[in-house]
Structure 1
Amino acid sequence: MSSGRFVDLIVGVCSAGDYVDRRRAIRKSWFLYARSHVSPIPEEDASRIAMKFIVSQGHPKAEKEQERHNDIAFVDAPEGYGNLWRKVLLFLYWVEMTYEYRYFMHADDDSFVRLDLILQKMIQWPSERFYWGYIWNMGPGRPFTQPIRDPRNKSHMPPEQYPLDYYPPFASGCGFALSRDLCRALLARALPDYRLLDAPFGIHLCGLEMCVLEAPVVPVHDEGVRPYRAIPLFHADTVVQHYMRPEEMKPFFDNAIEAAARPLDGPTHGQTAADDLYKQLVDLGLLRR
């Protein structure tokens, strides 16, 4: 067990070493929730959030960034999309040695995270057996996701890594959270390598065949996590927005700060009509959230 700094939440952001522009955009936007006087998060609460980029070793540009910002955790894993699962597990090992923490959250470096809304939700989160995010394969009418076997597809899963025909429920990798006991359960086993990040968490926490727990976890689905680009992009109730371009991060942050200062039942940045249209299109199945 670590005897290090206590935090309520440790956020790990997977990032490729060369993606300097993405890390810069995040530092100038949602990382400011824990570092800026404009943040709606009280200073005492902000002090209990830790945020780190997860980067593979051997990147001089990232090493220079670390000298200046001290917000990168370097892990001994190869670069590339097919190694994200290993990167995150190694990061969790490092977190266990460095922090006392309650929850771990993963985010992509093209995701925006409303940390102010996350902290509000955390008040209601259980301390154990908690797996939260946008959950695939869960809920009435939702089809089960089959592993993609075509090696030309970015999201393909080789049968030698996962031979079953369907995935159990799992959270989108763009932004999900785990209670510490689940992180420890994953680290306590010698788990196989996977070339995908998100599905293995469901495989080992929610599935019957390969679960590391005595009983599978029922994950918590949150529509506020948006794995697709929304129309319009900003919504006041968005908790995680995926597929953000670097130049969109700061304007999104400014909108989020403005939204946080308004009553929940107040107008949403002049977008009421657009929000209503968007909801109607989602309800009709013409758009995804």
Structure 2
Amino acid sequence: MSALVQKYRNMVLVGLFFFYLGCVITLNFVNTECPASSTTGILESTVNTEVEYIVLVLSGPQNEVKRDAIRSTWANFVGNIITENNVRLYRWNHSWTEPKKAQSFAKILYPIGVQGLSENQLKKISNENSRSKDLILLENLHDSYENLARKVIESMIWLNNNYKNLKYVLKCDDDSFVRVDLIIKDLEAFAPQMNAPEISTYVTQKNVESFFYKGLYWGYFDGRARVFLNGKWEEKDWFLCDTYLPYALGGGYVISQSIVKYIARNHDLLSVYHSEDVSMGVWTAALDGINRVHDVRFDTEWKSRGCDTNMLVRHKQTPTDMFEMYRTLVYSHGKKLCKTENKLRKSYQYNWNVLPSMCCKQNQV
């Protein structure tokens, strides 16, 4: 009996030895490195080499109606940019009846901070993302006005990690109506110099001897804005000067990949202020070779200046406003943005050759 026990004991020990040996060999051939932890998530999380343009729409968790208004209106105008002989061209290509043509080189994404959301809120966001596949879920960010600048930083990190051939990012808000097709058209044709006669009526930039630029920062700039000391826009930590540094207003502005990379790689060194557009002005202030371009077609001030067909961005728009402009554009085959053009406030040409406090008092139009 003892011999039988000894026999099975030896068999068990031999089996355990070969099991252990097999595990060691397997581990030597299999990569067991754990994926790096991430603060962000999205259904599409692999590195994309096709996308060159991102429209980053800042939107709160509760604003699904606004996001759906964008998806149903101006987001579809990406299809007006077509590729022929490896050249991107603008051609009105949209109607009520034709199916929407998806483009692989441009995406519209909505970063959402999900930290602290209830189970029902998370389920609703998840259901929305399942059908739209265009949300960037920022897991370690509580979504609030105070965290908007941090939200932009987290988004830049995610974009830099996931879109290796990115050229430009248009940042806007979920109450902005954007002619994304015309913005891409101008970027393809004129960026980063933005000095072509075709757009000279609308843009102003600092005169430089060299036209070799390392990046682009394009929008409607202000350099004389006084610092808010109380209220919603209060900046308790501001100490740089009596006014904000020149910045493009946050209803819509464009930055190049070089700026995206800079923010992503240096995020832990950057000062963060309540206003994300003010923060962007500070982050880019010391960067050399960035072409800063002021454009009156960006209607991005605290209150809309009215409606003009040439406008590229119209801030402070409701979903109803968006559907009205969308219908007007479709019925006019892209030639008319406004059902009735009107001017509520004057715009200004930014004077880059004077001190910032004097930037915007002259040449009002």
Q: The TM-score by the shorter chain falls in which range?
A: 0.7 to 0.9
Instruction: State the alpha-carbon separation in 1 of the partners of residues 295 and 220 from structure 2.
Output: 5
Change (3 A) 1:41 1:135: farther
Of residues 108, 113, 118, the one that matches 2:173 is 108
How many residues were matched structurally? 259
Change (3 A) 1:165 1:55: same
Instruction: State the alpha-carbon separation in 2 of the partners of residues 196 and 252 from structure 1.
Output: 28
> Which ranges in structure 2 are unaligned for 5 or more consecutive residues?
1-45, 82-90, 95-99, 193-212, 349-360
- Name the structure 2 match of 1:222: 295
Kindly report the root-mean-square deviation, in angstroms, between the aligned alpha carbons of the 2 structures. Answer: 3.0
Instruction: State the alpha-carbon separation in 2 of the partners of residues 72 and 205 from structure 1.
Output: 26
Q: Is the 8 A contact 1:128 1:180 kept in 2?
A: no
Q: Is the 8 A contact 1:113 1:239 kept in 2?
A: yes
**Mapping for residues 254-273 of structure 1, pairs under 5 Å:** 254-259=327-332, 261-262=334-335, 271=340
Question: Would you say 1:246 and 2:319 are equivalent positions?
Answer: yes
**Which has the greater radius of gyration?**
2
Of residues 134, 140, 161, the one that matches 2:220 is 134
Deviation digits for residues 99-155 of structure 1 (CA, Å, limit 9, x no counterpart): 121001101000011012102211201173200011111xxxxxx1121112xx211
Identical residues among aligned pairs (%): 23
Deviation digits for residues 9-36 of structure 1 (CA, Å, limit 9, x no counterpart): 1111011101111111111111112369
Of residues 133, 142, 147, the one that matches 2:227 is 147
Question: Would you say 1:11 and 2:55 are equivalent positions?
Answer: yes
Letter in 2 for 1:86: R
Q: Is the 8 A contact 1:29 1:250 kept in 2?
A: yes
- Name the structure 2 match of 1:125: 191
Q: Is the 8 A contact 2:178 2:312 kept in 1?
A: yes
Change (3 A) 1:216 1:108: same
| TM, length-normalised to structure 1 | 0.79
Q: Is the 8 A contact 1:4 1:97 kept in 2?
A: no
Letter in 2 for 1:49: A
Instruction: State the alpha-carbon separation in 2 of the partners of residues 87 and 283 from structure 1.
Output: 29
**Mapping for residues 116-195 of structure 1, pairs under 5 Å:** 116-122=181-187, 123-126=189-192, 128-137=214-223, 144-150=224-230, 153-158=231-236, 160-189=237-266, 190=268, 191-195=270-274
| TM, length-normalised to structure 2 | 0.64
Find the residue that maps to 1:282 and give its secondary structure.
coil
- Name the structure 2 match of 1:200: 279
Instruction: State the alpha-carbon separation in 1 of the partners of residues 191 and 247 from structure 2.
Output: 18
- Name the structure 2 match of 1:141: none
Deviation at 1:194, TM superposition (A): 1.9
Find the residue that maps to 2:296 and give its secondary structure.
coil
Instruction: State the alpha-carbon separation in 2 of the partners of residues 165 and 269 from structure 1.
Output: 38
Change (3 A) 1:283 1:107: closer
Letter in 1 for 2:146: G
Question: Would you say 1:40 and 2:115 are equivalent positions?
Answer: no
Find the residue that maps to 2:50 and give its secondary structure.
strand
- Name the structure 1 match of 2:107: 50
Q: Is the 8 A contact 1:135 1:171 kept in 2?
A: yes
> Which ranges in structure 1 are unaligned for 5 or more consecutive residues?
138-143
Q: Is the 8 A contact 1:41 1:116 kept in 2?
A: no
Of residues 65, 89, 100, the one that matches 1:21 is 65
Letter in 2 for 1:115: V
